Structure 1
Amino acid sequence: MEQDIIFYTNPYSRGGIVHWMLEELGMPYQIEYLEYGKSMKAPEYLAINPMGKVPAIKHGEVVMTEAAAICAYLADAFPEAHLAPALSERGDYYRWLFFVAGPLEASFGLRTCGIEMTPEQQMQLGCGRPEQVLDVLADAVRGRQYIAGERFSAADVYVGSHIGWGMQFGTIDKRPEFVTYWQGLEQRPAHRRSMEQIEAAMARFPFPGT
């Protein structure tokens, strides 16, 4: 699949996950930076993502939104990058990629909004308490270099990004399991390249709300 990749993002967004993933691919891509409340809500971009949010990509005629889905799609679209396990070995890959996209994102989003779930609400929502989510995730990375087997994968991009950002901003405890896992990922050349580009873009775009 040799079509151009167009990457829609903002430097203060979850687009950083996809940015890292694109650098791991080693394929050319075009970046379109969008501003919150302006170009992100313009009709041209709403035709790409009606939710008016980033990240999103366009790969030929394929449009993808949602960071976890984009990572999984790119890993399959470019198998030569070896960023997804063989189909018969994808149990942990899918499990932890979508565990973080689902229960972790939901439970921490509720907490950020000041909502502490009652036991009844936990049953209704199914995402669990943040402490429970972190206990499960800590068990998953304990003693492992990679989350889904013996090789680095797109799941490490997604899970690692959340753990790294969470520890940086204080939403995730710096448990030894998380620190060790993240230290094995953050110095990857592709991650460093994406961070350099993000930091350069931050100098061009104001922080949202300022």
Structure 2
Amino acid sequence: MTRPVLYHCPDARSLRCLWAVEETGMDVDLRMLKFPPRAFEPGYRAVNPLMTIPGWVEDGRLMTESAAICERIAEGTSLEVRRDESDYWAWRNWLHRSDATLTFPLAIMIRYTRVEPEERRLAQAVEDYRAFFGGRAKSIEAALGDGREWLVAERFTIADIVIGYAAFLATTLGADDVLGEATKGWRDRCMAREGFQRARQRQKAAA
């Protein structure tokens, strides 16, 4: 059986998958791409017609959604919340919230600060979506406000990975001042994990 292949750009959403890989010790073939692939990696279209990151290829099947890939990686490990656990549905909700609610406004900020040429950058859009993210990030603060160390199940899971990535991304964009104090502490715990540190070191070494 061949190793799964992870197509990844440094610090892109695919970092969630690489982080999960490092937490579990799964053996994967890491393929580094320049960001954005649609501009710099024309050959990637043959792998993923969407030209999005991540791309996960396993047993001839392609997966393209980072939270779903994290679910695959977490199977049978402590990063997974099982259906018979009381926090199962809260866990699933966080996985979906990670992109639809939290990473989306940050993606708009990235577009208009880093991707678009200078003449097309929109400061107002950046500020609007920064505030948009701040409002939605209150859900993280509410979940941690009772003194929880992690989001669900009284342990570190892929919910912390997929949501923690959004908090990390906000920090790289200078938008972490909209995060609550409990959220900042939790973000720091996430980023201090050896799995996160190894993932960032591995992407740097492979670039």
**Is residue 2:185 matched to residue 1:180?**
yes
Give the AA of the match of 2:141: A
Pick from 92, 101, 104 the counterpart of residue 103 of structure 1: 101
Pick from 82, 89, 95 the counterpart of residue 86 of structure 1: 82
Paired residues in the alignment total 185
Structure 2 residue runs of 5 or longer lacking an equivalent are 113-124
Change (3 A) 1:47 1:165: same
Tell whether the 8 Å contact from 2:32 to 2:203 is kept in structure 1 after alignment.
Answer: no
How many angstroms does 1:174 deviate by? 4.3
Distance in 2 (CA, whole Å) between partners of 1:182 and 1:131 is 15
Aligned residues: percent identity?
22
- After superposing the two structures, state which structure 1 stretch, 106-115 or 50-59, moved more: 106-115
Partner SS state of residue 31, structure 1: strand
Q: Trace 1:64-75 onto structure 2 (pairs within 5 A).
A: 64-75=63-74
Tell whether the 8 Å contact from 2:102 to 2:166 is kept in structure 1 after alignment.
Answer: no
Distance in 2 (CA, whole Å) between partners of 1:25 and 1:62 is 21
Give the AA of the match of 1:131: G
TM superposition score normalised by structure 1: 0.77
Change (3 A) 1:56 1:111: closer
Distance in 2 (CA, whole Å) between partners of 1:146 and 1:190 is 15
Distance in 1 (CA, whole Å) between partners of 2:107 and 2:8 is 21
Tell whether the 8 Å contact from 1:92 to 1:149 is kept in structure 2 after alignment.
Answer: no
TM superposition score normalised by structure 2: 0.78
Give the AA of the match of 2:103: E
Relative to total residues, which structure has the larger helix share, 1 or 2? 2
Deviations 1:36-77 (A, max 9, x none): 3233x32xx32321111211111222321121111122222x
Partner SS state of residue 197, structure 1: helix
- After superposing the two structures, state which structure 1 stretch, 102-111 or 45-54, moved more: 102-111
Give the AA of the match of 1:179: K
Distance in 1 (CA, whole Å) between partners of 2:171 and 2:11 is 17
Structure 1 residue runs of 5 or longer lacking an equivalent are 118-127, 205-210
Tell whether the 8 Å contact from 2:106 to 2:169 is kept in structure 1 after alignment.
Answer: no
**Is residue 2:206 matched to residue 1:198?**
no
How many angstroms does 1:132 deviate by? 2.5
Partner SS state of residue 74, structure 1: helix
**Is residue 2:167 matched to residue 1:163?**
yes
- After superposing the two structures, state which structure 1 stretch, 2-11 or 186-195, moved more: 2-11
How many angstroms does 1:96 deviate by? 1.2
Change (3 A) 1:3 1:144: farther
Aligned to 2:141: 138
Aligned to 1:30: 29
RMSD: 2.3
Partner SS state of residue 88, structure 1: coil
Tell whether the 8 Å contact from 2:137 to 2:179 is kept in structure 1 after alignment.
Answer: no
Give the AA of the match of 2:193: R
Distance in 2 (CA, whole Å) between partners of 1:68 and 1:50 is 19
